[in-house]
Structure 1
Amino acid sequence: MNVKLCVLSVGALFFLGQTAFAQTTKKDTAKTKVIDEIVVVGVQKKKREEITQAVSVVGGDELTRMSASSTGITNMLQGKMSGLQVSTNSGKPGEPGSIRIRGAVNVSATIGASDPLFVVDGVYMTQRQFNSIPASDIESVTELKDAASTAQYGSRASNGVMVITTKRGKSGKPAITYDTRFGFAYKPKDVNFTMMNTAQKIQFENEMSGVGVNPNPVYTPAEAAELMAQDHDWSKDILRNSSIQYHNLSVRGGSDTNSYYASLGYDTDSGILQELDGFKRYSGRFNFDQKVSDKMKLAFDFGVTNVKTQDQRYSYNALSPFYSLYTLNSYEPIYNSNGSFNPTTNSINPVDLRRNEVTTDWRTRLTGQVSGTYEFFKGLTFKSSFGGIYDVRKNKYIVRKGSEIAKVYGTPDGSIRDTRSDYWSYVFNNRLDFTKSFGQHKISAVAMFEYNQEDFGSLSGTKRVMLGPDVTDVGSASTPFAVTGNTTSTRFVSLLGIIDYNYAGRYLLSGSIRRDGNSRLGTNQKYGNFWSASAAWNVAKESFFDVPFFNDIKFRYSIGTTGNVSALLDYQNLISVVSGDYGTDPTSGPSNFVGNNDLKWERKESQNLGVDVVMWNNRIKLTAEVFKDNRKDFLYAIGNTPFTGGGYLMSSVTNAGNIEIKGLESELNVDIIRSKDFDWSVRGNISMLKYNVKSLYGSNTQLSLDGTTFMRVGDEPTIFKMVKSAGVDPTNGDALYYKLDGSVTNVYNSSDAQFLPGKSTLPSAYGGFGTTFRYKGFDLNADFSFQTGGYSYNIMAQNLSDFSAYNQNLSTDAFNYWKKPGDTNVLPKPNVNGLQSTDAFLQKTDFVRLRSVEIGYTFDKKFLGESLPVNSIRVYGSGQNLALWTNYTGDPEIALASETQANGAFIPGSISLYNYPNTRTFLMGVQVNF
Structure 2
Amino acid sequence: MIRTLLYCRRVWLLGLTFVAMIVPLYIQAQNVLVTGTVTSSDNSPLPGVNVLVKGTSTGTVTDAEGKYSLDAPPAGTLVFSFIGMKTLEVNINNQSVVNMTMDADVSQLDEVVVVGYGTQKKSDLTGSVSSVTSKDIKTVPVASLSQALQGRAAGVQVSQTSNAPGGGVSIRIRGGNSIQGGNEPLYVIDGFPVYNENGPTISPNDIESIEILKDASATAIYGSRGANGVVIITTRRGKAGKPSILFESYYGVQEVRKKLDMLNATQLALLVNEGISNANPANPPAFTDEQIAGLGTGTNWQDEIFRSAPVQNYQLTVSGGDDKTQYSISGNIYDQDGIVINSNYKRTAFRVNLDRKVNDRLKLSNSLTISRAVNNSVATDTDGGGSAGVVYAALNFSPTVPVYNADGSYTIDNRIGGIKISNPVALANETTNANTITRMLGNISGEYTLAKGLTFKVLLGANLINNKTNFYQPRTVYAGVGTKGSAYINSSQHTEWLNENTLNYQTTLNERHKLNFLLGYTLQAAHVEEYRASAQNFPNDILEYHNLGTGQQTNTSTSNTYDWGLRSYIGRVNYDMDGKYLVTLTTRIDGSSKFGKGNKNGFFPSGSVAWRIVNESFMSNIRQVSDLKLRASYGLTGNQEIGNYQSIGSMGTQNYNYGNTFTIGYAPNRISNPNLKWETTAQLDIGLDLGLFNDRVIITTDWYYKKTRDLLYSVPLPITTGYSTSLQNIGKVENKGIEFSISTVNVDRALRWTTNFNISANRGKILDLGNVSGDIPAGSASGHLQLANSGILRIGEPIGVFYGLVTDGIFQNQEEINASAQKTAKPGDRRYKDLNPDGAINSADRTILGYVQPDFIFGFTNNFSYKGFDLSIFFMGSQGNSVYNINRYELESLTGVSNQSAATLDRWTPTNPSNEIPRALSTGVPYQVTSRQVEDGSYIRLRNIQLGYTFPTALVERIKLSSAKVYISGQNLLTITNYSGYDPEVSRFGQDNLSQGIDYGSYPTAKMYLVGINIGF
Same fold (TM over 0.5): yes
Distance in structure 2 (CA, Å) of the matches to 1:722 and 1:116: 32
- The alignment status of 1:165 with 2:234, answered yes or no, reads yes
Matching residue of 2:66 = none
Contact 1:528 1:601 in 2 (8 A): yes
* Residue 998 (structure 2) aligns with: 911
* Partner residue, 1:4: none
Match in the other structure for 1:529? 603
- 1:847 equivalenced with 2:918 (yes/no): no
- C-alpha distance in 2, partners of 1:213/1:430? 80
Q: Is 1:304 aligned with 2:337?
A: no
Residue 756 of structure 2 corresponds to residue 683 of structure 1: yes
Are 2:195 and 1:121 equivalent residues in the alignment?
no
In 2, Cα distance between equivalents of 1:404 and 1:927: 45
CA deviation profile, 1:288-342 (whole Å, cap 9, x unmatched): 1111110011111221001111121544774311011111232311122343322
In the TM superposition, what is the alpha-carbon distance from 1:469 to its structure 2 partner?
A: 2.1
Partner of 1:3: none
Distance 1:821 1:550 in 2: 70
- The Cα of 1:797 is off from its aligned counterpart by 2.2
Show the 5 A alignment for 1:771-782. Answer: 771-782=862-873
Instruction: Give SS of 1:863's match.
Output: helix
Pick aligned residue for 1:814 from 904, 917, 941: 904
- Note closer, same or farther for the CA distance 1:855–1:458 as it changes in structure 2 (3 Å cut): same
Instruction: Return the offset for 1:536.
Output: 0.5
> Residues 343-362 of structure 1 correspond to what in structure 2 (within 5 A)?
343-345=412-414, 346-362=420-436
Q: CA deviation at 1:254?
A: 1.4
Q: How does 1:506-655 map to 2 (within 5 A)?
A: 506-545=580-619, 546-566=621-641, 568-579=642-653, 587-641=664-718, 647-655=721-729
Q: Equivalents in 1 of 2:682, 2:772: separation in Å?
A: 23
Which amino acid counterpart does residue 929 of structure 2 have in structure 1? Answer: S
For residues 219 and 433 of structure 2, what CA distance do their matches in structure 1 show?
39
- Report the alpha carbon displacement of residue 355 of structure 1 after superposing the two structures with TM: 3.4
Partner amino acid for 1:846?
A: S
One-letter amino acid of the counterpart of residue 497, structure 2? Y
The residue type equivalent to 1:224 in the other structure is I
Matched, 1:395 2:487: no
**For residue 251 of structure 1, what is the aligned residue in structure 2?**
318
The one-letter code sitting in structure 2 at the alignment partner of 1:287 is N
Distance 1:32 1:886, change over 3 A: farther
1:836, CA displacement in angstroms? 4.0
Pairing 1:860–2:949 present: no
Residues 756, 862 of structure 2: 8 Å contact kept: yes
Alpha-carbon contact 1:150-1:160 (below 8 Å) kept: yes
Give 1:128 shift.
Answer: 5.4
| Structure 2 counterparts to residues 74-93 of structure 1, below 5 A | 74-93=146-165
In 2: Cα distance, 1:213 partner to 1:387 partner: 72
Measure, in 2, the Cα distance between the counterparts of 1:45 and 1:199.
Answer: 67
- State how far apart, in whole Å, the 2-side matches of 1:924 and 1:124 are: 35
What's 1:227 paired with? Answer: 295
- For residues 758 and 667 of structure 2, what CA distance do their matches in structure 1 show? 51
Measure how far apart 1:699 and its partner are.
Answer: 4.6
Residue 879 of structure 1: aligned partner: 970
2:881 is the counterpart of 1:767: no
In structure 1, what is the Cα distance between the partners aligned to 2:290 and 2:924? 31
Q: Tell me by how many angstroms 1:793 deviates.
A: 2.0
SS at match of 2:999: coil
The yes-or-no answer on 1:39 pairing with 2:110 is: no
Question: Which residue of structure 1 aligns with residue 285 of structure 2?
Answer: 217
2:173 & 2:945 partners in 1: Cα distance? 25
- 1:96-135 maps to which residues of 2 (within 5 A)? 96-108=168-180, 113-127=182-196, 130-135=199-204
Q: Partners of 1:810 and 1:917 in 2: how far apart?
A: 18
Hey, what does 1:427 align to over in structure 2? 498
8 A contact 1:88–1:893 mirrored in 2? no
Contact 1:722–1:837 under 8 Å retained in 2: yes
**1:41–1:637: structure 2 CA closer, same or farther, 3 Å change rule?**
same
Query: Hey, what's the Cα distance between the residues in 1 that align with 2:400 and 2:914?
Result: 32
Asked whether the equivalents of residues 38 and 46 of structure 1 are also in contact (C-alpha less than 8 Å), the reply is yes
Kept in 2, the 8 Å contact 1:399–1:415? The answer is: yes
Deviates more, 1:426-435 or 1:339-348: 339-348
Hey, what's the Cα distance between the residues in 2 that align with 1:432 and 1:255?
Answer: 28
- Once the two structures are TM-superposed, the CA of residue 692 in structure 1 deviates from its matched residue by 2.0
Paired amino acid for 1:678: L
| Matching residue's letter, 2:960 | P
**Counterpart pick for 2:1012 among 920, 925, 930:** 925
CA RMSD of aligned residues (A): 2.9
Taking the aligned partners of 2:230 and 2:504, their CA distance within structure 1 comes to: 22
Does residue 237 of structure 1 match 2:304? yes
**For residues 464 and 640 of structure 1, do their structure 2 counterparts lie closer, same or farther at Cα, with a shift above 3 Å needed?**
same
Paired letter, 1:121: D
Check whether the contact 1:91–1:918 (CA below 8 A) recurs between aligned residues.
yes
**CA shift for structure 1 position 101:** 0.4
* 1:726 maps onto 2:808 in alignment: yes
SS for the counterpart of 2:167 is coil
* Superimposed CA distance per residue, residues 224-253 of structure 1 (whole angstroms, 9 cap, x where no aligned partner): 22211x723212322222221111000111
Deviation readout 1:573-600 (Å, 9 max, x if unpaired):
1101123666986623234322211111
Confirm or deny that 1:749 pairs with 2:831.
Answer: no
Q: Is the 8 A contact 1:262 1:286 kept in 2?
A: yes
The one-letter code sitting in structure 2 at the alignment partner of 1:384 is V
Please state if 1:503 is matched with 2:577: yes
SS in 1 for 2:239: coil
Aligned equivalents of 2:108, 2:363: Cα separation in 1: 30
Structure showing greater radius of gyration is 2
SS in 1 for 2:598: helix
* Aligned AA (2:293): A
Higher RCO (C-alpha 8 Å, min separation 6): 1
Contact 1:673 1:679 in 2 (8 A): yes
After TM superposition, give the deviation of residue 407 of structure 1 in Å.
4.9
Does structure 1 retain, via aligned residues, the 8 Å contact 2:274–2:920? no
Structure 2 counterpart of 1:5: none
* TM-score normalised by the chain length of structure 1: 0.91
* Cα deviation, residue 774, structure 1: 0.7
Counting aligned pairs with the same residue, the percent is 29
Q: Are residues 323 and 842 of structure 1, via their aligned partners in 2, closer, same or farther at CA, if it must alter by over 3 Å?
A: same
Deviations 1:825-875 (A, max 9, x none): 4223444444743223221211111111111111122223x4322012111
Mapped partners of 2:968, 2:286: distance in 1: 53
Output the CA distance in 1 between the equivalents of 2:200 and 2:1010: 21
Change (3 A) 1:619 1:53: same
1:411 aligned residue (463, 467, 483): 483
Correspondence for 1:284? 350
Deviation at 1:377, TM superposition (A): 1.3
Q: Is the 8 A contact 1:143 1:163 kept in 2?
A: yes
Distance 1:404 1:502, change over 3 A: closer
Give yes or no for contact 1:793–1:841 (8 Å, CA) kept in 2.
Answer: yes
CA distance in 1, matches of 2:1016, 2:287: 67
Equivalent position SS for 2:675: coil
- TM-score, normalised to structure 2, is 0.83
Give distance in 2, aligned partners of 1:518 and 1:895. Answer: 34
| Secondary structure of residue in 1 paired with 2:429 | helix
C-alpha separation in 1, matches of 2:503 and 2:663: 54
**1:177-188 map, 5 Å:** 177-188=246-257
Aligned with 1:194 (options 237, 256, 261)? 261
Q: In the alignment, residue 605 of structure 1 is paired with which amino acid?
A: A
Structure 1: where are the runs of 5+ without partners? 1-7, 15-19
What residue is the counterpart of 1:477 in the other structure?
Answer: 550
Distance in 1 separating the partners of 2:947 and 2:995: 34
